[in-house]
Structure 1
Amino acid sequence: MISRKVFLKAVAGAAALSVAGGTASAAPKKRGGVCYDTGVLHAVGDPLSRVRWSRPQLEREIRLIADELRCPSITAFGTDLGRLAETTDAALRHGMQVFVQPRLYDHPQEQVLEHMAEAARTAERKRRGDNVKFVTGCEHFLFTPGIIPGDTFLDRLANIPSITDWPGVIQRFREFMVKAVEVARREFHGRITYGAAAGADGDWNDWSLFDLVGLDYYTYFETDAEYATDLDKHRRWGKPLMIMEYGCCTFTGAAVAGGMGWDIVDYEATPPVIKPGFERNEREQADHIARMLRVFGAQPDVEGSHLYSVISPDSPHNPTCRDRDYDMASYSLLRTMRERFDDDNSPYRLKPKKSFHAFQRFNR
């Protein structure tokens, strides 16, 4: 598996090939929101990444997001369109705005677009004014075949350092995004955006097609000023910025690892284990999240930010075995405590981490 550093270095040269223009527009500052994972299908025949699902549990978790965390908005993402609709309804009942983001990884582009069209139709039926926004997927250059060589997400990620034809990659990506926008605009008549990786397809995308510049922003800088400077390149489109994802995992060094923090798990082992040399660290996660909330809040044209993520039911906490404390590799604000640790369908309870309290303090 390549590191985040290698990944960003590999795509950095391609970013210079994108074009843009315009000036920034101001948008009001907002409290932080969160991403809510309804479960993603990776391959045909596999279960959703979130196995356990129930309406009462959904209602409890959405109530926690709205009342305890005081989030003004969420991104509801996943593959099952029924779950996306349920989550949208629950969030709207609690007064939150909803960014609906369908995800279907490692499927043919035609199927991805058909899935997107149905999600957009459903989102439009629920929209009243601007209470629902539509997100045309997530980091398609990695998760959708036909842009970067490789049959699966992991194959494509591994192939990035050897790519020499970046103009071809960018062209294929842009051609797919034109189709995605056509689908979204046909079925959905509110504002649309896209979950783009900052430093990669976030730099290649033609944001003139969208209403918001949407960024999955896991970049790490030593100073707050560097973040403001880095965000400048996305302001050239004259569109509000929306931070679709940000955050870090729960171990020492996770802030720097950013979007590759999940890679501390050795999935080749049976059962999977946390790799040697990593130490659980809730304080680092809490401090990084508080810092990023402050950074985004200081940017007048950042319309909002969504933390990835509020809970990670597929990464349960193990208080007695460090090697299997999968919560170390999660970005969640709450620890998932399963009744049956190895059962993906086990009932669970949630316990706040230090990051939960940091996030809660900021929103209050």
Structure 2
Amino acid sequence: MANSQGITRGQFLTGALALGAAGALLRSGQASAQPRTPAQPRTPAPATHVRRPGLRHHGVVYTVGEGETPATAWNPRRMRADLRAIRDELHADTVDVTGDGVDRLTATAAEAAELGLHIWLQPTLADVPERDILEHLAETGRFAERLRRQGASVDFSVGCEFWLFVPGIVPGATVLDRVQNILNGTFDPAKMQRRLDAFTKKAAATGRSVFHGNLSYAAAQDDEVDWTLFDLVGIDYYSYFRQPADYVRELRTYQRWGKPVTITEFGTCAYQGAEKTAGMGWNVVDYDKDPEEIKGHLVRSEHTQAAYVVDLLETFESMNLYGAMAFEFVTPDAPHRAHDPRHDLDMASYSLTKTIKSRPCDPSSPWHWEPKEAFHALARRYARACRH
């Protein structure tokens, strides 16, 4: 479906191809699909948040990918510090642990449980056979069930936008191939939907077989999903409207299933006008340049990002949705360059924090994150909603 600015899923794919985002998705799927021994769950801390009227879970997406370089890859020390900041500085009560690699997913989920956070655990593995994706899903789900049985608060999502990530639904061996086939029209939409439905049923059945709490899936806004398979409706939501009533009207369409609705992603980028591009805000980087640079003459505006996420959060709260996860906590491979706007890749990032590298041109450079205005704006709202 198109939003008020005419942004459609097809335009998203066009942008993905132009940007090279498909390559980023491929990187996220490079981890081995072979089952690994998951981290041992520790006894989780008791939940420290008290439910108040409105949105039930206030959260943020935390990706556990391999990173583009060893310096930006997931590591346990940084993960533990990030989760503490999510709880104590962002004041979120929920973390969406997503990405691939059973060891990374389970170690992060176990740490979140120990900190008393609600966990939305979502494995995503791309461009490998269905069997491997389902094995990766099952292994992660078994760990989620162990955490749940030990008293942790856990919801389990079987994945994200399968038509893009899973080979065989749309022709093409890789995400890039599938995007190109969609753009070229060299696919059968009816056949794609049948294959999507079939895999979604397999994934739901696999999830049910290993996990006995709330089950969900993260769909694109205009995906057709049989939500009778799941306990919670999950939507990656990037619409832009001028009037709050238009958000409410659109979001109500997801409530027709009579199930709690979770916003599995929401947010925008940090430049003027980004909120009007909705889910296309990142499509402003020229990756053919070395180093990559921002196209045009954008004006950095952390206020734009902050105002958009707060407006959406207010809508979600007014509708008493089940949960909402801002996308995302940190994007290490999109560093901020305060005095070099042409190369300030953080402007094209949805991250609530900005990555600061000690040596901007060195892939091995140490780095740290600093909160952006959106971080502080959400922290204030989250702190009001939940007391620790």
TM-score category, normalised to shorter length: 0.7 to 0.9
214-223 or 117-126: bigger deviation: 117-126
Aligned CA-pair RMSD: 2.3
Identity of aligned residues (%): 39
Q: Distance in 2 between matches of 1:259 and 1:50?
A: 28
Q: Which runs of 5+ in 1 are unaligned?
A: 12-26, 42-46
* Residue of structure 1 in register with 2:30 after alignment: none
Q: Distance in 2 between matches of 1:9 and 1:281?
A: 24
What SS does the corresponding residue of 1:269 show, helix, strand or coil? coil
Q: Distance in 2 between matches of 1:135 and 1:50?
A: 29
* Residue of structure 2 in register with 1:58 after alignment: 79
* Residue of structure 2 in register with 1:270 after alignment: 290
Question: What is the letter of the counterpart of residue 339 of structure 1?
Answer: S
344-353 or 59-68: bigger deviation: 344-353
Q: Is the 8 A contact 2:197 2:226 kept in 1?
A: yes
Query: Within the alignment, does 1:171 sit opposite 2:171 as a pair?
Result: no
Query: Within the alignment, does 1:304 sit opposite 2:323 as a pair?
Result: yes
- Label 1:31 to 1:135 Cα distance change in 2 as closer, same or farther (>3 A): closer
* Residue of structure 1 in register with 2:59 after alignment: 33
- Label 1:181 to 1:119 Cα distance change in 2 as closer, same or farther (>3 A): same
Residues 261-316 of structure 1 deviation map (CA, whole Å, 9 limit, x = unaligned): 2221112222222112332211110100110110100002x111000001111111
* Residue of structure 2 in register with 1:339 after alignment: 358
Q: Distance in 2 between matches of 1:130 and 1:237?
A: 27
Question: What is the letter of the counterpart of residue 150 of structure 1?
Answer: G
- Label 1:40 to 1:226 Cα distance change in 2 as closer, same or farther (>3 A): farther
- Label 1:298 to 1:113 Cα distance change in 2 as closer, same or farther (>3 A): same
Shift in Å, 1:55? 2.3
Query: Within the alignment, does 1:184 sit opposite 2:203 as a pair?
Result: no
* Residue of structure 2 in register with 1:68 after alignment: 89
Q: Is the 8 A contact 2:90 2:379 kept in 1?
A: yes
Q: Distance in 1 between matches of 2:291 and 2:381?
A: 38
Q: How does 1:256-295 map to 2 (within 5 A)?
A: 256-295=276-315
Q: Distance in 2 between matches of 1:241 and 1:156?
A: 29
* Residue of structure 2 in register with 1:229 after alignment: 249
* Residue of structure 2 in register with 1:22 after alignment: none
The count of aligned residue pairs is 338
Shift in Å, 1:8? 5.0
Q: Which runs of 5+ in 2 are unaligned?
A: 14-52, 384-388
Match of 1:7 among 9, 14, 34: 9
Q: Distance in 1 between matches of 2:70 and 2:136?
A: 17
Question: What is the letter of the counterpart of residue 306 of structure 1?
Answer: M
Q: How does 1:64-213 map to 2 (within 5 A)?
A: 64-128=85-149, 131-163=153-185, 165-199=188-222, 201=223, 204-213=224-233
Q: Distance in 2 between matches of 1:50 and 1:296?
A: 36
Residues 112-144 of structure 1 deviation map (CA, whole Å, 9 limit, x = unaligned): 112111111122122235611111111111122
252-261 or 227-236: bigger deviation: 252-261
Q: Distance in 2 between matches of 1:49 and 1:307?
A: 26
Q: Is the 8 A contact 1:49 1:314 kept in 2?
A: no
TM-score under structure 1 length normalisation: 0.86
Q: Is the 8 A contact 1:99 1:134 kept in 2?
A: yes
TM-score under structure 2 length normalisation: 0.81
Q: Is the 8 A contact 1:266 1:274 kept in 2?
A: yes
What SS does the corresponding residue of 2:55 show, helix, strand or coil? coil
What SS does the corresponding residue of 1:36 show, helix, strand or coil? strand
- Label 1:75 to 1:65 Cα distance change in 2 as closer, same or farther (>3 A): same
